[in-house]
Amino acid sequence: MTEEMVMQIGSHALQTILYLSGPVLAAAMAVGIVVSILQAITQINEQTLTFIPKMLAVIITLVVMAPWMLRIMQEYAIGVFGNVGDMIH
pLDDT at residue 88 tops 90:
no
Q: How many domains does the chain have?
A: 1
User: Would you place residue 89 in the very low, low, confident or very high pLDDT band (cuts 50, 70, 90)?
Assistant: low
pLDDT of 3: 87
What region, left, alpha or beta, does residue 49 occupy, with left being phi > 0 and alpha being psi -120 to 50 degrees?
alpha
3-state secondary structure (DSSP) of residue 25? helix
**Domain carrying residue 45:** 3-88
More confident residue, 82 or 67: 67
Cβ within 8 Å of residue 73, ≥6 positions away = 16, 20
Structure confidence by residue, pLDDT tens digits, 9-68: 899 999 999 999 999 999 999 999 999 999 889 988 887 888 999 999 999 999 999 999
Q: State how far the Cα of 35 lies from the Cα of 41, in Å rounded to an integer.
A: 10
pTM, rounded to two decimals = 0.79
